[in-house]
C-alpha cells in the first residue's frame, strides 16, 4: 500500500508506487460543497480526530479516513478489502460518531441502508491514529 499525494493535494492510497501514472483516478466527490482542506499535521486530540472523521464522511472521502489509519502490518489484499469497507461507509450520510476511551464508532445510514465501522484509537509519535 502506497500513500501518495493526488493531483489536488489530497492523500491517495494505492497499490501502485506514487511515481507510476494513475489513469482513471478520480478525485473524491465535491457535491457536499465542503472544500478540501490540506492536511499539514496529524490529529493530536480526540476533538480533532472526530472533526476529521466528520468532514471525511460529509465529503464521501474514504481516502481522508484512510489517512487517519495505522496501516502497519496490512498487506495489499487486506488493504483493498479495508478500503472497500471505508468506501461503503462514506456512501451514506453521517448518523453519528461515538467516542469511547479507546475506540471510536462511525455510523452512517439513510432509508433502510446502514453502515458502521469501529476503530481502536492509538497514540504514536504524538498523534492519534485509528486502528483496525
CATH of the domain at 96: 3.10.450
How many angstroms separate the CA atoms of 2 and 37, rounded?
21
Q: Which tens digits make up the pLDDT trace of 21-33?
A: 544 434 444 445 5
**Is 75 contained in some domain?**
yes
**Is 80 contained in some domain?**
yes
User: Distance of CA 131 to CAs 22, 55, 71, 112, 123, Å?
Assistant: 28, 19, 8, 28, 10
Number of domains in the chain: 1
How many angstroms separate the CA atoms of 55 and 38, rounded?
12
Report residue 123's pLDDT band, with 50, 70 and 90 as the boundaries.
very high
**Is 59 contained in some domain?**
yes
**Is 32 contained in some domain?**
no
Domain range for 75 is: 2-19+41-131
Q: Which tens digits make up the pLDDT trace of 48-107?
A: 999 999 999 999 999 999 999 988 888 888 899 999 999 999 999 999 999 998 999 999
pLDDT score recorded for residue 1? 65
**Is 26 contained in some domain?**
no
Report residue 15's pLDDT band, with 50, 70 and 90 as the boundaries.
low
**Is 91 contained in some domain?**
yes
**Is 88 contained in some domain?**
yes
**Is 24 contained in some domain?**
no
Percent of residues in the chain assigned helix, strand, coil, to nearest 5: 25, 30, 45
The pTM of the whole model exceeds 0.75: no
- Which of the two residues, 78 and 39, has the higher pLDDT score? 78
Amino acid at each position: 500500500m502506497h500513500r501518495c499525494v493526488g493531483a489536488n493535494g489530497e492523500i491517495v492510497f494505492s497499490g501502485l508506487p506514487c511515481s507510476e501514472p494513475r489513469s482513471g483516478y478520480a478525485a473524491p466527490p465535491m457535491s457536499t460543497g465542503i472544500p478540501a482542506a490540506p492536511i499539514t499535521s496529524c490529529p493530536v486530540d480526540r476533538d480533532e480526530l472526530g472533526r476529521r472523521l466528520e468532514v471525511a464522511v460529509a465529503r464521501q472521502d474514504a481516502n481522508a479516513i484512510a489517512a487517519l489509519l495505522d496501516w502497519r502490518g496490512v498487506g495489499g489484499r487486506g488493504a483493498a478489502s479495508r478500503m472497500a469497507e471505508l468506501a461503503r461507509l462514506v456512501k451514506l450520510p453521517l448518523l453519528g460518531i461515538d467516542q469511547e476511551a479507546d475506540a471510536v464508532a462511525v455510523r452512517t445510514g439513510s432509508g433502510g441502508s446502514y453502515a458502521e465501522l469501529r476503530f481502536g484509537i492509538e497514540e504514536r509519535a504524538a498523534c492519534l491514529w485509528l486502528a483496525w
